[in-house]
Amino acid sequence: MYVTHLSLADFRSWPFAELAFEPGVTTLTGRNGQGKTNLVEAVEYLGTLGSHRVASEAPLIRHGAPRAIVRARVQAGLDDARALTLEVEIRSGQANRASLNRGPLKRARDLLGALRVVVFSPEDLRLVKGDPADRRRFIDDLVTQRWPRLAGVRADYDRVLRQRSMLLKSLTGRRTLDEASEATLEVWDESLAKLGGELVEARLRTLEAMAPFVTDAYLAIAPTNNAATVAYRSSSLGADPNAATFLPTKGTLADEISCARVPFIGKSADELAEVLRARMADRRREEIARGVTLVGPHRDDLVLSLGELPAKGYASHGESWSFALALRLGAYGLLRADGVEPVLILDDVFAELDDVRRARLAAMIADAEQVLITAAVASDVPSSLAGRRYVVADGAVTRDDSSGTPAPGGGTEDPSPAPDRREDGPR
Ligand SMILES: Nc1ncnc2c1ncn2[C@@H]1O[C@H](COP(=O)(O)OP(=O)(O)OP(=O)(O)O)[C@@H](O)[C@H]1O
Ligand SMILES: [Mg+2]
């Protein structure tokens, strides 16, 4: 699939922008702070309803504006002319509105699945060096792209977790529970186990399918004898004892023992829910004493290893970079294998890679249906990724053609301008 047209109103630094894209590689270059990332972030937002740069949505709305609008037209494939128009209105302090083919959707998240994107950016170093929450978000975003229904499961899980944890906090330190609290806790336990089981099952299925793509991608970028592997570490379910890469990095001794005993890969969502229920019962006393929910996918992690060693804390800077890239390429490979070509966005990554890895990455993505690249320095992008090149400067996007002459400017009202026209931008 590929984006053929992007329209923005009051998104980030862009009061207004209209851009036409074609399949293949498109490179946006320009000095720092000119709004290159803002443009590709808009595409990312339509695909994931999130951004690799911020957790909240306020920064996505142009400073001083009440709302931002992002709209894109997407074609299903090079040999599939079906097209979709996706639109989201990001509203400050209110629920966002979304539409598909101009028809309003009940909830913005119903848009998920319509446009598939994979973004790789310098922020991804966090996947290797950062907290478990960064890796959970990575796998959950992938799960949601594969099965949009899981977006609802995720949202419900987060809500139940918040409510259950609030109840636990209010009970902190109690030795016995009254009937009403006991009954309420049981309701939350049941919901948490059911939703948690679904989420973990989807994560594991995704991880299992993605793992070979990650290993292959790492090998292609940084040939080495140390295989890059990804395993799932669960503080509540136990780990697959056959997974050679399983390394319990945290947790109590009791956790480690039960982790070693309970294999869970291949279990159904119901079976996983059953394990979660049992673990919650085991740890209820501790949960009440501490006032926190200790069991569930919100405490799990992905363990990334290079050979025998965990990547976190051991891998060099360059190895960590290659691993982060391999994770994104793994996600890309998996989505492709699912049968839909995602749009690949490489935001500012070539500056971070040496020549050898640049060339290897370029070779790996040469046949991608659409790649959107941003770079401050045009020469950082390998020439093999010729594609169409644009310069983003002073709130305008102009064609950087071989003659070096910018394409003529144009108005901003035409809904489908040619890609080489001058675009309106921040004023
Ligand atoms: N909500 C917003 N309202 C107005 N301006 C914003 C908003 N968010 C970001 N900006 C501005 O956008 C600019 C950054 O744009 P962007 O990150 O796209 O730059 P870039 O061209 O990718 O730069 P670099 O080469 O450094 O990555 C900054 O000047 C920032 O102040
Ligand atoms: Mg940028």
What does the pLDDT read at residue 187? 94
**Å from CA of 58 to ligand 1 middle:** 14
Nearest-atom number in ligand 1 for the CA of 64 is: 3
Supply the DSSP string of 110-154, one letter for each residue: GGTTSS-EEEE-GGGHHHHHS-HHHHHHHHHHHHHHH-THHHHHH
Nearest protein Cα to ligand 1, atom 6: 13
Mean pLDDT of the chain: 86
Residue 141: which residues within 8 A CB-CB, separation 6 or more? 48, 50
Is 133 domain-assigned? no
Nearest-atom number in ligand 1 for the CA of 61 is: 1
What does the pLDDT read at residue 237? 66
What does the pLDDT read at residue 232? 85
Nearest-atom number in ligand 1 for the CA of 35 is: 18
- Give the pLDDT confidence of 85-111 residue by residue, as tens digits: 999 999 988 999 999 999 999 999 999
Judged by DSSP in three states, 96 sits in coil
What range does the domain containing 104 cover? 1-116+340-427
Looking at the chain, the whole-number percentage of residues with pLDDT higher than 90 is 66
What does the pLDDT read at residue 335? 96
Say yes or no to pLDDT of 10 above 60.
yes
CA 62 to chain centre: 23
**pTM listed for this prediction:** 0.88
Is 101 domain-assigned? yes
**Å from CA of 12 to ligand 1 middle:** 7
Is 9 domain-assigned? yes
**Å from CA of 122 to ligand 2 middle:** 9
Is 171 domain-assigned? no
Pocket test for ligand 1, best of 34, 120, 347, 394 (most atoms within 8 A of CB): 34
Is 404 domain-assigned? yes
**Å from CA of 349 to ligand 2 middle:** 9
Separation CA 141–CA 136 (nearest Å):
8
Residue keyed to tokens 């001794």:
253
Ligand 1 residue neighbourhood (C-beta within 6 Å): 12-13, 30, 32-38, 59, 61-63, 348, 374, 376
Separation CA 397–CA 18 (nearest Å):
9
Q: How many CA atoms lie within 13 A of 360 on its CB side?
A: 17
Q: Considering every ligand atom, which ligand is closest to the CA of 38?
A: 1
Is 282 domain-assigned? no
Is 410 domain-assigned? yes
Number of domains in the chain: 1
Confidence category of residue 279, pLDDT binned at 50, 70, 90: confident
Looking at residue 237, the DSSP 8-state letter turns out to be T
CATH of residue 86: 3.40.50.300
Confidence category of residue 2, pLDDT binned at 50, 70, 90: very high
Is 388 domain-assigned? yes
Confidence category of residue 260, pLDDT binned at 50, 70, 90: very low
What does the pLDDT read at residue 350? 93
**Å from CA of 74 to ligand 2 middle:** 23
- Give the pLDDT confidence of 383-395 residue by residue, as tens digits: 988 789 999 999 9
Say yes or no to pLDDT of 66 above 90.
yes
Say yes or no to pLDDT of 204 above 50.
yes
**Å from CA of 35 to ligand 1 middle:** 5
- Give the pLDDT confidence of 357-384 residue by residue, as tens digits: 999 999 999 999 999 999 999 999 999 8
Nearest protein Cα to ligand 1, atom 13: 33
**Å from CA of 13 to ligand 2 middle:** 12
Say yes or no to pLDDT of 203 above 50.
yes
Nearest protein Cα to ligand 1, atom 25: 32
Say yes or no to pLDDT of 402 above 80.
no
